[in-house]
């Protein structure tokens, strides 16, 4: 990467690699993070070619920096006019460059690099320092000038003085860039390089910090991204997956409609957006309707606080929703036979990628309880309870122990998901209570201690990826047959057993909107247990967990 790409002060760190594909990854300046609703922008450049990726990242950086500048204009004071450069001012500008770059570098490292990204960064840095030294050696200051001009604009300074002074500033700035780059390379080799404190720059008779500071509000008024922040803050500890889904819907809409004051959006604008998505053919009506629902919720969250007169998303109808689309299929009897004849259920029941014993028990629990994957994966040992001779799972997100709440958090899709699910006799017969006793004896908190949360905080996120690979490998390969298909299979089994709809909804954790559902305390554990015992999967042979473990131990001896 040469200094021809220098117009962005972060360009050299904005190119990353995941596997063989290159990505654009840019840190958002602190004053603008509330506006964007996140700390970084990441997306695929859709190329595996290094040269093409470098070209694309330069284009993307130029576009993003222009957007940063446009957004900052209404919240920044007018540029400070510099006509004379003294030594203190020049030094302050260079110190600020060093501070901004090293602070940004720390932020990127905190996010973590893959091995490929780390190696690519080292190669990029080596190439860049070579180009910088060539510029210094040959005095080609016009090649550093774009980076200097952009940086001055970013911190709100404009130089209007003698051209010779401008070249002296460019020279000193180039020395600072090289010095800063070498410091970053020291960090690449594991050396500790401290980030200096934010400097102050003396301009004329005034000394002030030119580190960009945000201000509350804007002369343009609040944007949809401000609404997003209000939505996010209304409820503590929203799942990262949910926040990401809502943010993606917001970004998609803004990319079409543009950034405006929230009151400037209309139903016509929303319908134009929907028509554009349908015309592209990349999203089905159900997905579009779901995203419009997200936007409706974001807008509603801010409606009262911002005294908005209406919600342009509230009465929107997406064409084509009346066309039924199968989103997931239940597992057939043949699918279940294939599954229970596979290695997880025929050998040891222990798969490292599947979280050890979780690979055996999570499919079985979902098949015989209808519980969601995350509900099962986050169970504590103490969530398996017994009352009046009935064993059951206590599906809840209410944690009274504060230490446990921090170290082993739980969350549910909705309040109606809190429920007690009796254990099906087949689970007890297969050895679930023996497994519970073994986990208790080892003093684990989680029922499935080998499950490791993914980057979004989902305890079953990595398991879900493993399961998708595993089911395809054993021949249950339809895209419509995911782990959630166990839940659909259980639902069909309840219908086959003619279980009362209200009881079925309670077992599934669905909200009961019927008139009767609003009366009384709900169904007793006894009633739920009687319903559970009606569930049957005829001719389905499930290997005993106890026998599998015993066989596994015998083979190891």
The DSSP-derived string for 430-443 is HTHHHHHHHHHHTT
- CB atoms closer than 10 angstroms to residue 333: 12
Alpha helices in 281-357 (DSSP H): 285-303, 333-340, 343-346
CB 215 within 8 A of CB 244: no
Instruction: Let me know if domain 224-303 sits in CATH 1.20.1460.
Output: no
Tell me the two tokens of residue 113: 């690099």
Tell me the two tokens of residue 77: 């004071």
Q: Each residue of 126-168: pLDDT tens digit?
A: 888 888 999 999 988 888 888 888 777 777 777 776 778 888 8
Return the SS3 of 263: helix
Distance CA 193, CA 118 (A): 18
pLDDT at 352: 62
The residues with which 394 forms a beta bridge, in sequence order, are: 420
Indicate the pTM of the whole model: 0.50
Residue with tokens 């910088």: 132
Give, for 489, the enclosing helix (H) or strand (E): helix 485-496
pLDDT at 207: 44
Q: What are phi and psi of 375, to 5 degrees?
A: -60, -40
- CB atoms closer than 10 angstroms to residue 335: 19
- CB atoms closer than 10 angstroms to residue 401: 12
Alpha helices in 445-484 (DSSP H): 461-474
pLDDT at 128: 84
- Domain extents in the chain: 3-205, 224-303, 333-556
* DSSP assignment letter at 310: -
pLDDT at 81: 58
Q: Each residue of 421-478: pLDDT tens digit?
A: 999 999 999 999 999 999 999 999 999 999 988 877 788 988 998 998 999 899 887 7
Distance CA 412, CA 453 (A): 15
- CB atoms closer than 10 angstroms to residue 227: 24
Q: What is the mean pLDDT of the chain?
A: 79
Tell me the two tokens of residue 281: 């053919």
β 384-387/21-27 pair status: unpaired
CB 156 within 8 A of CB 77: yes
The total number of residues shown for the chain amounts to: 557
β 201-203/21-27 pair status: unpaired
Distance CA 290, CA 158 (A): 47
The CATH classification of domain 333-556, taken from the options 1.10.443, 3.30.160, 1.10.3470, 2.60.98? 1.10.443
Cα-based torsion angle of the residue sequence 103, 108, 111, 116 in order, rounded to the nearest 10 degrees: -150
β 390-395/419-422 pair status: antiparallel
Rg (CA), the chain: 29
For the chain, 557 residues long, give each residue's pLDDT as a single digit of tens. 333 334 333 444 678 777 778 888 887 776 666 566 666 788 888 888 888 888 888 878 877 877 776 665 544 444 555 556 778 778 888 888 888 888 877 877 776 777 777 777 787 788 888 889 999 999 888 888 888 887 777 777 777 767 788 888 889 999 999 999 999 899 988 888 888 877 766 554 444 444 444 333 332 457 888 888 888 888 777 777 788 889 888 888 888 887 777 877 888 888 888 888 888 776 788 888 889 999 999 988 887 777 777 788 988 888 876 654 556 788 899 999 999 989 888 765 555 667 888 999 999 999 999 999 999 999 999 999 999 999 999 999 888 777 777 777 788 888 888 999 999 999 999 999 999 999 999 999 999 999 988 877 788 988 998 998 999 899 887 778 889 999 999 999 999 999 999 999 999 998 765 544 444 446 899 999 999 999 999 888 888 887 666 544 444 44
Distance CA 172, CA 174 (A): 5
């Amino acid at each position: 990467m040469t200094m021809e790409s220098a117009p962005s002060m972060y360009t050299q760190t904005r190119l990353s690699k995941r596997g063989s594909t290159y990505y654009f990854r840019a840190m958002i300046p602190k004053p603008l993070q509330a506006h964007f609703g996140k700390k970084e922008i990441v997306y695929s450049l859709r190329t595996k070619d290094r040269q093409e990726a470098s070209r694309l990242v330069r284009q993307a950086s130029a576009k993003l920096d222009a957007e940063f500048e446009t957004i900052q204009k209404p919240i920044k004071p007018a540029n400070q006019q510099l006509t004379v450069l003294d030594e203190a001012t020049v030094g302050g500008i260079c110190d600020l460059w060093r501070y901004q770059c090293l602070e940004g570098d720390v932020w990127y490292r905190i996010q973590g690099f893959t091995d490929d990204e780390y190696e690519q960064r080292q190669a990029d840095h080596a190439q860049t320092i070579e180009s910088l030294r060539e510029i210094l050696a040959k005095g080609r200051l016009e090649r550093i000038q774009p980076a200097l001009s952009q940086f001055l604009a970013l911190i709100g300074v404009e130089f209007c003085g003698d051209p010779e002074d401008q070249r002296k500033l460019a020279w000193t700035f180039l020395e600072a860039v090289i010095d800063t780059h070498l410091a970053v390379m020291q960090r690449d080799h594991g050396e500790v390089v401290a980030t200096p404190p934010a400097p102050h720059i003396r301009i004329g008779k005034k000394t002030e910090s030119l580190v960009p500071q945000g201000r509350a509000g804007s002369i343009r008024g609040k944007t949809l991204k401000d609404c997003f922040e209000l939505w996010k803050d209304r409820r503590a500890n929203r799942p990262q997956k949910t926040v990401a889904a809502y943010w993606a819907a917001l970004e998609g809409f803004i990319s079409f409609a543009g950034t405006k004051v929230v009151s400037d959006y209309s139903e016509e604008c929303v319908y134009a957006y929907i028509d554009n998505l349908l015309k592209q053919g990349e999203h089905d009506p159900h997905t579009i309707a779901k995203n419009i629902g997200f936007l409706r919720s974001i807008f509603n969250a801010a409606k009262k606080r911002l005294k908005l007169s209406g919600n342009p998303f509230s009465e929107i109808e997406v064409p084509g929703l009346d066309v039924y689309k199968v989103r997931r299929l239940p597992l057939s009897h043949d699918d279940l036979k294939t599954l229970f004849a596979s290695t997880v259920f025929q050998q040891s029941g222990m798969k490292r990628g599947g979280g050890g014993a979780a690979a055996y028990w999570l499919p079985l629990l979902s098949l015989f309880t209808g519980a969601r994957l995350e509900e099962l994966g986050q169970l504590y040992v103490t969530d398996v309870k017994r009352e009046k001779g009935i064993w059951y799972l206590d599906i809840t997100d209410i944690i009274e122990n504060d230490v446990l709440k921090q170290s082993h958090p739980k969350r549910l899709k909705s309040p109606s998901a809190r429920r007690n699910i009796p254990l099906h006799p087949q689970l007890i017969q297969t050895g679930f209570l023996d497994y519970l006793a073994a986990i208790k004896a080892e003093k684990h908190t989680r029922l499935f201690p080998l499950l490791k949360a993914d980057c979004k905080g989902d305890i079953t996120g990595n398991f879900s990826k493993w399961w998708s690979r595993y089911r395809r490998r054993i021949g249950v390969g339809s895209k419509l047959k995911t782990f959630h298909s166990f839940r659909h299979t259980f639902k069909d089994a309840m219908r086959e057993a003619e279980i009362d709809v209200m009881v079925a909804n309670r077992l599934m954790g669905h909200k009961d909107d019927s008139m009767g559902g609003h009366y009384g305390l709900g169904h007793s554990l006894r009633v739920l247990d009687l319903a559970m015992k009606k569930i049957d999967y005829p001719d389905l042979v499930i290997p005993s967990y106890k026998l599998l473990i015993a066989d596994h131990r015998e083979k190891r001896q």
